[in-house]
A and B are shown apart, each in its own frame.
Chain A
Amino acid sequence: MSTKKNPYSAFSLLKNALSYHENWQRAWRNPTPKTDYDIIIVGGGGHGLATAYYLATVHGITNVAVLEKGYLGGGNTARNTTIIRSNYLWDEAAQLYELSLKLWEGLTQELNFNVMFSQRGVLNLGHNLQDMRDIERRVNANRLNGIDGEVLSPADIKHIAPLLNVSPDARYPVLGASWQPRGGTARHDAVAWGYARAADALGVDLIQQTEVTGLRRQKGAIVGVETTHGFIGANKVGCVTAGNSGVMAAMAGLKLPIESRPLQALVSEPLRPCLDTVVMSNAVHGYISQSDKGDLVIGAGVDGYNGYGQRGSFHVIEHTLQAICELFPAFSRVRMNRQWGGIVDTCPDACPIISKTSVDGLYFNCGWGTGGFKATPGSGFVFADTLAHGRPHPLAEPFAIDRFYSGALIDEHGAAGVAH
């Protein structure tokens, strides 16, 4: 649903072409913050903007501000490898990621913004007997949860990705793979921009260049946030700050079971179309897809140590490129164009934290670690519900912070894909 007065359409494209595309309306306002809001979202990335959007559409709460210290979608939303899938092992995680995948499937229409969601399928390769056992188990678990999945043989894989080396002579031969046809990729910026534009149209204030420097509390309850542009009041604050969640928690005197680590990715020069699916391998550790522009988008592992530097170690990408060259010998002479790092908030069980805290009115949505992009719509949907009603959404309930005291961890290290 979009309440925009001037929706994007073929007609609007034609109309604006007549004026040389110089009169397009602004995608969103740049408002001055009010003195107080019903709900403040800290963090203007994909998850934060999605939260604001679903607060406005599903719950009718539009007196909402999203505070962003930089620009919208400039953190991990801009730094990931855009892979979308829902083939997680455990019921709790599978249902959350599947909700997200279902929302992705209608997102372009809903937001009136082309998020370029492309269901080109995701392959997770197995290189040894144990990998294949895990893959069989995970695919069976997925199918029981109504999630599409198949176990493929090397011959099937060769058919899908002809450049992939499935020779038995490889150092780590490919023995098979799991295949989720509904998985794929989307355009990372478009997701943030689409949610931002739709939320803004519904009255949500998107406030950029405004960093939260403190959380003001009275009698154990949140009353607002201190920012670089002064105090803004709200009785509910949702922190969706990924790698900086530990910093936000410390402002409220809390600790989180999270370590912030740099995670790297890199892209090559643009090539002719040569890989029309997503290929991931846990065992040799590399994942790769080709963007619509033609670049190979390659994801590396996390650095070994905590860091906030938004850059990564060279030996980590070297290791990943060794794996990519092993899988795709044809790529060995491709030149790399850019490399970057983002700060991911890794949790001990590789699952997110979507939770109330011991401070009344303070909520956290964090710990997505190395795989948050795919969850953007679902994360926003359940977090909006949690904030609106002051109790966890049924799908978010297992992801409460209390699980680190009860012991009910949801171990998704296998399906999370990135070694950490």
Chain B
Amino acid sequence: MLHIYCPHCQQHREEDEFSYSGEAHIQRPSNPEILTDKDWGDYLFFRKNPRGLHHEMWYHAAGCRRYFNATRDTVSYEIMETYPVGTRPQIAPLPTIGDDAT
């Protein structure tokens, strides 16, 4: 079981107090009316799913009931840091948004 540090409660708590909310830093489209089907599909379904460092959202469901982000290694499961939504991670800073090569 993971021990996760909630940056709001400022405590390490056990994993089953939390629920997972997937990849972090996915911006909700600010102009939904002009979005194409492809843009919507990319936003809703397509994920980086990396083997290695992953920035992801967690929800402290049985605690403060607030969201925060974590940087976690998806192979060792080590949690490098947790940080409030709206701030940038310290570890492996994100590449510039929109640089997804396709």
Contact = CB atoms under 8 A, between A and B. Distances in A.
A306 to B, nearest CB: 5
A259 B49 contact: yes
Contact of B16 (A308, A315, A406): A315
Interface string B17-61: 001101000000000000001101110111111110010100000
Given A247-B51, A307-B77, A308-B75, A315 B15 contact: yes
B10 interface: no
Given A247-B51, A309-B75, A309-B77, A304 B20 contact: yes
A163 interface: no
B48 A244 contact: no
B48 A255 contact: yes
Contacts of A253: 101-102
A207 B76 CA distance: 28
Size category, A interface = 20 to 34
A255 B47 contact: yes
B46 A315 contact: no
A330 interface: no
A257 B15 contact: no
Contacts of B22: 259, 306
Interface in A390-420: 404-407
Nearest to A346: B49
B1 interface: yes
A304 B49 contact: no
A255 B51 contact: no
A246 B15 contact: no
A20 interface: no
B90 interface: no
A258 B49 CA distance: 7
Contacts of B54: 306
A358 B102 contact: yes
Contacts of B16: 315
Given A306-B74, A309-B75, A405-B38, A255 B46 contact: yes
A284 interface: no
Contacts of B77: 307, 309
A304 B15 contact: yes
Nearest to A359: B102
B37 A304 contact: no
Given A306-B54, A313-B15, A404-B41, A257 B1 contact: no
Contacts of A404: 41, 44-46
A137 to B, nearest CB: 26
Residue from B15, B45, B100 having most chain A Cβ neighbours under 10 A: B45
A318 B72 CA distance: 24
A258 B15 contact: no
B47 A250 contact: no
A257 B77 CA distance: 22
Nearest to B15: A313
Contacts of B49: 246, 255-256, 258-260, 306
Contacts of B74: 260, 306-309
A254 B38 contact: no
A314 interface: yes
B68 to A, nearest CB: 14
Given A255-B102, A313-B15, A314-B1, A250 B50 contact: yes
Contacts of A315: 1, 15-16
A260 B74 CA distance: 9
B51 A246 contact: yes
Contacts of A257: 41, 45-47
A369 to B, nearest CB: 13
Interface in A227-263: 244, 246-247, 250, 253-260
B75 A258 contact: no
Contacts of A70: none
A221 B54 CA distance: 29
Interface of B: 1-2, 15-16, 19-20, 22, 37-38, 40-42, 44-51, 54, 56, 72, 74-77, 100-102
Given A250-B50, A404-B46, 12 more contacts: A255-B46, A256-B49, A258-B47, A259-B47, A260-B49, A260-B74, A307-B77, A308-B51, A309-B74, A313-B1, A315-B16, A407-B37
22 contacts: A246-B49, A246-B50, A246-B51, A247-B51, A254-B102, A255-B48, A255-B49, A255-B102, A256-B47, A258-B49, A259-B49, A304-B20, A305-B56, A306-B20, A307-B75, A307-B77, A308-B74, A313-B1, A314-B1, A358-B102, A405-B38, A406-B37
Question: 9 tightest A-B contacts by CB?
Answer: A246-B49, A257-B45, A253-B101, A405-B41, A305-B20, A255-B46, A404-B45, A304-B20, A404-B41
